[in-house]
A and B are shown apart, each in its own frame.
Chain A
Amino acid sequence: MSWLITFFRSSIGRKLIMSLTGIFLITFLIVHLIGNLQLLYNDGGEAFNTYAYFMTNNPLIKTISYGLYFFIVVHAIQGILLAIYNRKAKGSKYAVNTHENASWASKNMALLGILVFAFLMLHMGDFWWKMKQNQLDMVTYASFDAPVKDLFTRVSIAFQELWIVVTYIIGLLALMFHLLHGFDSAFQTLGIRHKKYTPLISLVGKAYSFLVPIGFAIIPLYIYFGK
């Protein structure tokens, strides 16, 4: 098994971890967004709350969610360790720095990642933690046989606060820039680069990086301005 340790300690092995965990997070965000868009229904939270009930009680989804927590932590810790290592490998900086040869996001992935992480902490503290700690009211719906936690109302209250809405927009902007470089980068790290497919991956990456954060941003904006 020592070959595995050697592999994951090598430069390319460490980047492989970043890439695979990153792609897992990208997949998760799509599912998360589609589920959360149910917050936009004006149905007193029925669709969203019963969906949240299903997501927190289904054993398969519960297992995947533990994987998700683990992968976020691995991605974040590994990302920070890499940034520190790379800074040492560069040593000193130039007096003149050009911006012509690379994108800003690609050079600031750790900063963007830390912003995303800080946002995640706030986000999970506000909703996920309160849900886990049973700090939410229970509601019953005629169409559903069990009482469910009223996360919908918690979200609706939170997004009445301007500072929370602004923080979400900042967090999502950081995510957008993180993905604008990260999406393509993850495939390059895997060695997936091809005259036919790379332009397609790039296009999907751009679309994803803009649309997913915008999709998430619609929710606080809609609740803040719409109600």
Chain B
Amino acid sequence: MKLNLKIWRQSGPNDKGYFDMHSVEANEHMSFLEMLDVLNEQLISEKKDPIAFAHDCREGICGTCNLVIDGRPHGPQKGTTTCQLHMRQYKDDDTIVIEPFRATAFPIIKDLVVDRSSLDGVIQAGGYISVNTGQAVDANAIPVEQEVAADAFDSATCIGCGACIAACPNGSAMLFTSAKVSHLGKLPQGKVEHKKRVQNMVAQMDKEGFGLCSNVGACEAECPKEISLDNIAFMNRAFIGSVLTTED
């Protein structure tokens, strides 16, 4: 199948950027990233600059393969990452528009690659639990109810890709941050630091320059892990409750 690609090119963070047209010969068994690999090999053989795009695991777990495909982060397929999107979703002679994630807190490094270290800032502010070093604790020492474990696990499936921020018209990181807050705050191991964690992570999220949540819901619709808006509600009440009930 022949595909027409309209791809964003930008040589650096301060470059203006522009759309470039390319065409590529692909087959329906290729993943979206493999199709781009073919294009890049073509560009290299023509002695042109290959398109920079990020990828790592190529199996939907690392959250690196971040592209906006025809206006949708990770493409039109629900609940999957770009690397899990296959060309059988497209027809011969389709035109596909590929753009980088857009948000002020995600500056573009080159072409389709953005800098997501703002998300690291949020994690460093509280996305962990503190444990003393020494002997590993017995896995079953703290009993966790099955429902609670499953619920926390749903939140834990967030891969930190940032598609929620890319999809949000406000560039808000509420879905990402709330997934971490819920995942840890629902488990007994994470409850200990829960109140402090919520305040610190929200403060850092604001500091990184993410927008405010208007409850638009585009994040939930585009999230490859289908993280629910329940997490945002959980964080809202946790934050308000924590500010009102802590001493400092």
Contact = CB atoms under 8 A, between A and B. Distances in A.
Please classify the interface of chain B as helix (H, G, I), strand (E, B), loop, or mixed, using the class held by over half of its residues: mixed
Contacts of B97: 95-96
Given A90-B104, A98-B71, A106-B217, A15 B171 contact: no
Given A10-B203, A16-B240, A193-B230, A85 B212 contact: yes
B171 A96 contact: no
Nearest to B107: A91
A82 to B, nearest CB: 6
Contacts of B169: 86, 90, 102, 107
B47 interface: no
Given A93-B102, A101-B167, A191-B238, A86 B71 contact: no
Given A96-B70, A192-B233, A89 B215 contact: no
B222 interface: yes
A172 to B, nearest CB: 22
Contact of B236 (A12, A89, A184): A12
Contacts of B6: 95
Interface string A198-220: 00000000000000000000000
B103 A91 contact: yes
Contacts of B213: 11, 15, 189
A92 interface: yes
B230 A89 contact: no
A93 B240 CA distance: 32
A101 B73 CA distance: 11
Nearest to B248: A3
B206 interface: yes
Contacts of B237: 190-192
Given A86-B211, A106-B217, A190-B237, A101 B72 contact: yes
A167 interface: no
A86 B214 contact: yes
Contact of A82 (B8, B68, B71, B212): B212
Nearest to B228: A193
Contacts of A3: 243, 248
A87 to B, nearest CB: 8
B203 A96 contact: no
Contacts of B105: 89
A94 B237 CA distance: 32
Contacts of A85: 211-212
A14 B212 contact: yes
B212 A86 contact: yes
A12 B181 CA distance: 14
B93 to A, nearest CB: 18
B52 interface: no
A12 B233 CA distance: 11
Nearest to A108: B169
A176 B41 CA distance: 54
A185 interface: yes
Nearest to B17: A92
Nearest to B247: A3
A73 B51 CA distance: 50
A191 B217 contact: no
B212 A90 contact: no
A90 B71 contact: no
Nearest to B97: A96
B156 interface: no
Contacts of B66: none
5 contacts: A12-B240, A90-B170, A98-B72, A103-B216, A189-B215
Given A10-B202, A185-B215, 4 more contacts: A86-B169, A106-B215, A190-B236, A190-B237
Give 9 closest A-B pairs by Cβ, nearest first.
A191-B237, A89-B211, A193-B233, A96-B71, A86-B170, A191-B236, A101-B221, A98-B71, A91-B104
